[in-house]
Structure 1
Amino acid sequence: MNTLFTGIFKKYSLKQLQKDLIAGIVVGVIAIPLAMSFAIASGVKPEYGIYTACIAGILISIFGGSKFQIGGPTGAFVPILLGIVLTYGYQNLLIAGILAGIILCLMGIFKLGSLIKFIPRPVTVGFTSGIAVIIFTGQIANFLGLTDIEKHETFIANMKEITIHIDTINMYSVITAVICLAILIIMPRVMPRIPAPLVGIIVSSLIAGWLFSGRIPTIGSTFGVIPSTLPKFQIPSFSWDTLQLLIGPAFAIAMLGAIESLLSAVVADGMTNTKHNSNRELIGQGIANIITPLFGGIPATGAIARTAANVKSGATSKVSGVIHGIFVLLTLLLLAPLASRIPLASMAPILMIVAWNMSERAHFKHILKMKSGDSLILVVTFLLTVLTSLTIAVEVGLGLALLLFTKKMSESVTVKKSLPNHLREKREKITQLWNESSSSSTISIYTVEGPLFFGAAQDFHETVASYIKQQPKFLILRMGNVPFIDTTGEAYFRSIIHQFRAQGGKLLIAGLPPHVKETLIHNGLYYTIGGEHFFEHVNEAITFSLERLKQDKFDNLQSLRLS
């Protein structure tokens, strides 16, 4: 356990505590309205968002791998969590959260944190922008004060619902929402150090309570009064069938949580010139998501905006994240009744601004302008996120990225006839054996470049097979620029060896990288070719070929004399 806390209090001073205290309170103030907003958008009661910000925020700070990470409910989870609540119910959301926590812990234990970097940028930008669209449009009903709105899992169904009930617009809600929105836009420019979401909620709530009391829906009138008590510990009841049913949603939560938390940690690294531990971060996220649902909280992850605010507020260690969680808890105990009076119209602009900020508009436009395979991946991932689900979008996006990458890699593999410039002095010695324009050289030298993997192995085989039909006695392959050979490449390579040997030729390999040679030793191909047929430099292979040809010629003359 000591290693988990290494560095938290080492050489920790009172001055650092003061900075962490200020940063923790500032982030706590920012987190409270966001936590309630994300919970409501996810289809659960607002207090569950506060429980999450408090418990998960403390646990992620203590057990995570980043000094500055702030954890809690985030906008990225909204579409997934809403879908789970609508399909399986709130209790099963808690179970899915625990399963996601277990998956995250296993990812960290098996050191899979570094694999997140292999997710292509167009995929992350695509689904992040898609999530932003879902969050933004999901708040239109609260912004306009529409009534009798039924939430659906799909984007199109929700848009139809808004269109059908557009005649129920409440102008009092619109005025309240516009006031809050104006504050959210103006405040960061005029007074950037003051949390605009908190000011927006307070001012718009006071105006609505004074002028429009009883005329617009509030948190209390819609979800009931927020209890000013500690969350209760309760283990959700489940069965084996329930676990099987929820493993898919849990995996989606875990993957998205891993991606967002590590991206947030990277952002913090860039702002502070530090380095996070990705695997420990996943374990910390896992612990938080296992424990938080036991107190009614929803899935949590690292929050990029709050983490950035933590750094900008002067945080020096993980203590700021713990203070942020304690501040949220104290606010719940002291001010919960007041929070119940907040109009839903005041919450809507906050989520709309969050969606606008997370949409990655600049990156989206940049990738789109490239008009390349990445542009296709971006558009497909974005549309599938909006129109179907995040899980399908990521799966298809990654699959498409893999196909395009495989195609590009296969095109990078080349096999061409060559003779190195530094061997031109040998040209006179092998003039009769080497002829670049001849179709039947005794010694053929070809340069192979690129990885011999499943996407390129067949083309490699067909190209080399066409060359050995010219029946050279020695085929020298220069393979210094072959970074790896996979199982498929090995199989096709082995076929070439057998085919060439059947016609009496000898295959020689020059310049093979050591790590690739180790691969061939491991799979037995090295011994099939013969260790004496591997050379560091192509001139050694040519010398070997000339000596063998000379020896064969001598042996043939001797045979003729004896006969």
Structure 2
Amino acid sequence: MPDSVPGHAPVAGTPRSGPRLRQPFPLAAFHPRLRDSLRDYDRATFAKDLAAGLTVGVVALPLAMAFAIASGLPPQAGLFTAIIAGFLIAALGGSPVQIGGPAGAFIVIVYGIVARYGVANLLIATILAGMLLFAMGLFRLGTLVRFIPVAIVIGFTNGIAVLIMVSQIGDFLGLRTGKLPGDFLSQMRVLGQALPTISWPTVALALGSLAVVAGWSRLARLADRRRHAAPAPAQPPAAPGRWSRVLSMVPGTVVALVLATAANALLELPVETIGTRFGGIPQGLPPFALPHLSWQLAQQLLAPTLTIALLGAIESLLCARVADSLIDDRHDPNQELMAQGIANIVTPFFGGLPATGTIARTVTNVRSGGRTPVAGIIHAATLLVIMLAAAPLASAIPLATLAAILLYVAWNMGEWHVFGLAHLKRFSNNYRIIMLGTFVLTVVFDLTVAVQVGLVLACLFFIYRMASLTQIEPIAPAELPPAPGGALPAGEVQAYRMTGALFFGAVNKVEALIDPRDRSQPAPAVLILEVGKLVALDTTGLDTLDALRRTLARRGGTLVVCNAAAQVFSLMRRAGFLERMGPENCCDTLAAACARAGVLLAGRAARDAAQATQAAPAAPPA
């Protein structure tokens, strides 16, 4: 058979000097989206970015402090992260509207790392994770994150939301728990033992803050609907009222923060504040500090590094995809990962947390009019100005209010409808097992175990599904084209049509054709495999075909393969299978395979006749 794939013409346009050498690992170009956005930048766009950046900066203020406190770190760590990482992700990222900073998804991860390894090792793990993120983007691995099944993403997102809620129960109720342990079961035991220390003024302030956050957000959504509602045909469009604009622009978290801080200052409530626990917030960025890094320490921090990098990549790219749907754009995932990597390398040198893209702040940026990375840069500058000017006021912020804000964020973070029977009935058992298993493992153990087990289950279910789609069906003798010598005898020629993918999970279907241990099973003289609809073949599948060929050869039969696709034929040729089978036994069409079977049967009949003649006794002399 010629050294080409049937039905596939050679690639045209090849230089006469020979094929051009390709780079084995093509690197992604470092091209921040800010460069493209500034080409046609004008005053009107800047006005929109300015308004959006100021709004997002105000929104990010309480969240940054709350995320840091919930992670077991002082509130200024969250502010430093939001300022430095927010600036770098906006200036160097691959999305025009992505807002970076500390994220709620990292709370549980960071808290566990701090409890087990300490703050210094958290900073080192974050730097190593940043290097890994940058390498992932550089080697164009940004699209691989999309291969993680949505069931795993939903499972660990809901699990993280539950863990965030549990971590805030102590501050919400004013319990005297001390520093909570890192695992879920121990946290629940400590919280249960501390229930007699509940502080009712703290509970009242926390419930009031939660009511303000939830109620203000609901009023803002109603006002936004009224602003964008289409007027009746007979009425001119009404101008939005002042209160409607205020409700839409001012976030409920800031309103709750201001009201709770004022109430605490006026009433002198016996509640814990940022000042009583942390001593306040410094006015300015911390000095650059170089953490001690050694190879032995890096080996111990391998698991936290992988966890931070994996979660950061998933969170940032999911956020960027949400932003794409809002502005009808498409982000560069590799550039986004490189920007996330740089941000996580730089931020720990100033005492910051792991950073990633944040969905809530990114959506706020888009809805506030932001369309370029300039809005993200303004958001970081806004936080810096607020910290420099109003840091002393932060000492009076009640921790119960920050706990209420985090409870609201965690509730909105989870997709709780997926646990309903009506939702679960729509999907297969595989989806339910992966999603619920990832959720339970995230809550009871940790995110790393949950994602690992979830991916293993997803792979196993995928292998099972692909194996079930692989079919080997017999071709009836009446459907076989006749050979030149006439119809093929049904007993001596068997033909099968293979569809799907012949890989390690489906080789048992080929092994079932002929059992090499069962000598009583009759073997055909010619076995034809029509593989035109076989879309993929791996080395295990090829080894199984070779075992089938050897079994047939030991019993005097021949394997004939026809209509091989490009990938199947290429692997057969490169692995030497065609030489062992005989190139003449690899045919272009089923008709050619039947003709080859006729030739093989004729040759076999001739050999049998010759052997019978030689074995016959000589005739006696007359």
Q: TM-score range by the shorter chain?
A: over 0.9
1:240: Cα distance to partner? 2.5
Task: Report SS of the residue matched to 1:482.
Answer: strand
Name stretches of at least 5 consecutive residues in structure 2 with no aligned partner: 1-28, 222-247, 617-622
* Pairing 1:478–2:507 present: no
**AA aligned opposite 1:199:** V
Task: Report SS of the residue matched to 1:10.
Answer: coil
Indicate the residue corresponding to 1:289 in structure 2.
344
Question: Which structure has greater helix proportion?
Answer: 1
* Pairing 1:170–2:170 present: no
1:460: Cα distance to partner? 2.2
1:554: Cα distance to partner? 6.4
**AA aligned opposite 2:282:** P
* Pairing 1:406–2:463 present: yes
1:235: Cα distance to partner? 0.8
From 520, 540, 543, the equivalent of 2:592 is: 540
Flag the 1:8–1:555 CA change in 2: closer, same or farther, 3 A: same
Task: Report SS of the residue matched to 1:448.
Answer: strand
Flag the 1:331–1:430 CA change in 2: closer, same or farther, 3 A: farther
* Pairing 1:396–2:448 present: no
CA distance in 1, matches of 2:71, 2:207: 23
CA distance in 2, matches of 1:404, 1:559: 54
2:59–2:361: 8 Å Cα contact kept in structure 1? yes
CA distance in 1, matches of 2:608, 2:183: 81
Task: Report SS of the residue matched to 1:394.
Answer: helix
Flag the 1:223–1:15 CA change in 2: closer, same or farther, 3 A: same
CA distance in 2, matches of 1:112, 1:382: 26
Indicate the residue corresponding to 2:417 in structure 1.
362
Moved more, 266-275 or 527-536: 527-536
Indicate the residue corresponding to 1:245 in structure 2.
300
**AA aligned opposite 2:79:** I
Indicate the residue corresponding to 1:438 in structure 2.
none
Task: Report SS of the residue matched to 1:463.
Answer: coil
Moved more, 346-355 or 548-557: 548-557
1:470: Cα distance to partner? 2.7
Pairing 1:60-459 to 2, within 5 Å after superposition: 60-192=89-221, 193=248, 194-213=250-269, 215-365=270-420, 368-369=424-425, 370=427, 372-419=429-476, 423=479, 426=482, 430-431=486-487, 433-435=488-490, 441-459=491-509
Flag the 1:420–1:558 CA change in 2: closer, same or farther, 3 A: closer
Flag the 1:3–1:387 CA change in 2: closer, same or farther, 3 A: closer
Flag the 1:558–1:230 CA change in 2: closer, same or farther, 3 A: closer
1:125–1:364: 8 Å Cα contact kept in structure 2? no
Q: Deviations over 1:15-45 (max 9, x none)?
A: 1111111111111111111110000000000
Task: Report SS of the residue matched to 2:283.
Answer: coil
1:367: Cα distance to partner? 5.8
CA distance in 1, matches of 2:497, 2:463: 21
1:497: Cα distance to partner? 1.4
Q: Deviations over 1:491-542 (max 9, x none)?
A: 2221111111222222111222112212222222233223332233212211
CA distance in 2, matches of 1:371, 1:519: 34
1:368–1:378: 8 Å Cα contact kept in structure 2? no
From 53, 68, 78, the equivalent of 2:82 is: 53
CA distance in 1, matches of 2:165, 2:85: 25
Moved more, 458-467 or 181-190: 458-467
Pairing 1:484-523 to 2, within 5 Å after superposition: 484-523=536-575
1:344: Cα distance to partner? 0.3
1:227: Cα distance to partner? 0.5
Q: Deviations over 1:344-390 (max 9, x none)?
A: 01101111011111111123436633360221112221111111111
Indicate the residue corresponding to 2:18 in structure 1.
none
CA distance in 1, matches of 2:152, 2:208: 36
Larger radius of gyration: 2
CA distance in 1, matches of 2:390, 2:486: 92
1:154: Cα distance to partner? 0.9
Moved more, 122-131 or 520-529: 520-529
From 28, 31, 55, the equivalent of 1:3 is: 31
1:545: Cα distance to partner? 1.9
CA distance in 1, matches of 2:85, 2:600: 73
1:128: Cα distance to partner? 0.8
Flag the 1:387–1:519 CA change in 2: closer, same or farther, 3 A: same
**AA aligned opposite 1:124:** V
CA distance in 1, matches of 2:451, 2:611: 70
2:285–2:350: 8 Å Cα contact kept in structure 1? no
Indicate the residue corresponding to 2:24 in structure 1.
none
CA distance in 1, matches of 2:439, 2:539: 35
1:420: Cα distance to partner? 8.7
From 491, 507, 525, the equivalent of 2:577 is: 525
Identity %: 40
Moved more, 518-527 or 393-402: 518-527
1:415–1:464: 8 Å Cα contact kept in structure 2? no
Flag the 1:539–1:427 CA change in 2: closer, same or farther, 3 A: closer
CA distance in 1, matches of 2:538, 2:398: 60
CA distance in 2, matches of 1:464, 1:24: 70
**AA aligned opposite 1:375:** R
Task: Report SS of the residue matched to 2:496.
Answer: strand
1:548: Cα distance to partner? 4.0
**AA aligned opposite 1:326:** A
Moved more, 228-237 or 289-298: 228-237
Name stretches of at least 5 consecutive residues in structure 1 with no aligned partner: 436-440
Q: Deviations over 1:272-324 (max 9, x none)?
A: 22111111111111110000101111101111111111111111111111111
Pairing 1:546-557 to 2, within 5 Å after superposition: 546-550=598-602, 553=605
CA distance in 1, matches of 2:375, 2:603: 79
Flag the 1:552–1:92 CA change in 2: closer, same or farther, 3 A: closer
